[in-house]
Structure 1
């Protein structure tokens, strides 16, 4: 047969087939390695190559089918031509073996490893140009591709794979966190922290960030009128709860901007204060922050009263509290952010027992556990497993704690500092 075809033509055809094999191999890797989210963005921007690749990837079974049909065809044809050439030079006995060995090495290097590696590194440079040829080739070979897909998809369904289209790719929350972490300099550090905080809203409830009830500054209608008016005039808060006798008996929320309406009168009554108070908005303590953020928006509210399963008031939470979980504190001074934290000259901190653990972690960059007690007092008691009779020391993770003051069954203050990690133990 080599007499019918000049050897130069056979060598040229073999070279062309190896190039086509490299094209199909690199196209497969490039198409499968391309960043789908970047591709979707480019396609939505109207880039024609991205639109074409998106169409091809919408049915990966058809795309892989046409690529493998083309690749197997050119590889088999290349093997036949290589055998003819080898027989011409080495005879019919050793020629096929030599052709198989040499062609395997050539295809492995020049038509598989090298083009696939390049396509994996630069998928867009391969996928976009390849789409010009693959789309019409898919239309040309569609009957054969359809037949191959019918058989292969049937086998896949036997293994439990039911969805064949390529539009189901999505990221869960943990994968999205990894994407944000790996963005590097593409996203500024502060913006990355904000994005990660938004993703974490689902894991945080209003109970974690609320102002506890013993810190809530409210107006008790059982107080005398002069004390109430003095409290209104000197209050540092914009909105305060109005209750009678006990904070569990909340009557409403008073916006101090509306207080001017009755403060300007000659005679002010408690009834006038109640009249200006808006109906309270109650929030279950287990409500996730991302849900409560939407609820505040829908209810046109900025503050809510947090209650437990029995309806007792646990504290209050504001829209600003949730926003601070996303963007961070609105002030940068440690003492200003946490009045319970008192830095010491030796690098330690004297911290009040009522300090919120999440606030401590954010303010000081520590990693105290937040899945249990909400306050430092509760955390210390949990690890001691008993109420201390006096000063005691313990270590939680990398944070060492020394109880300073105990009053009325409450750890009122403790000195804390970072220490080398050791196993949890009581001293």
Structure 2
């Protein structure tokens, strides 16, 4: 052992020990962060791991000319300069992964808090649910276990992740159903009108980079020894709110919307694992033996291929939703332009708003259909002085908008008087209210 340290140019202190154990000496030596792994590997190659304890601790400051020279020798001006050893990486991954009972309980609590935050449409509460979610350890453990050829750690990470996601969706559905039953949520509340829920029950492809970025950032933070708390929140942001949204959609009896949120959770989960796996291999983590490296390499490529294939398949769903959302936005813009064109022929009438309403049972928007086939109604709000109501104007707007749709779309034209009487038209009926209106 001492010969290895001298060959590496490492200063050491040898202390004689007396005790009940069979070890009779302690060797202490300082190393730069990026030199820990190669030196430990060299010591293991001479059998030091078989008959000794190895303890790695952090030193705040080392003042030594020889240490400075050793540090310069291992400096590469890359991420490897800050990279902790493979042994430390495994230890940190285990430290970030609590016992299963604690992990599962904390995940369920975070899902419950996220459910409350989504139903309240409160971003602050949703962020709070992310902070308490213990997902970063299991999310990165599977990738670390694959790269360093630790199968137990790999399967432990997967078991934690998938059971946590399933449990989170189930508890969110139960809590949301209880809220409905206890009338804590207004009767008839529509999920599409709650922004925090709506963006997660009709997920788009642009949400995938969030998961990939979280996986890369998580590994870099863990591997370089920096705090992973903030990155843990980012990983939770990709998983916890969609889990809660899936449960809420189930409680509301919207299986298509629940499917959309569940697909988003799975894509994000696999995205975090794929990004973490690729980042670990790229920055150079390998098992401690040549034979293990070849096995790990095959497993890494196989695992990455599986993750990528499933992500691509599920992303087809997200791509369809994204395209349908684009179609819906384009149609809303067209409906607005058509309504403005009709109203331009009237001196006193002007457009206030165009609202395209999609059928709830059609969420997320079905990419196999034309987007306009899933429209429940197009509501056109027109402002003007009392007496602006005009049946011909209504028929013209209805006709112009339906020219842009597939089939017959319900168009509702609502008139809002600037003073005096209000008039509204919904479908084929006009309802005149004798009250002043705000413009």
Q: TM-score range by the shorter chain?
A: under 0.3
Between Structure 1 and Structure 2, the one with more helix by share is: 2
Between Structure 1 and Structure 2, the one with more strand by share is: 1
Q: Which one has the largest radius of gyration?
A: 1
The alignment's TM-score, normalised by the length of structure 1, stands at 0.25
The alignment's TM-score, normalised by the length of structure 2, stands at 0.24
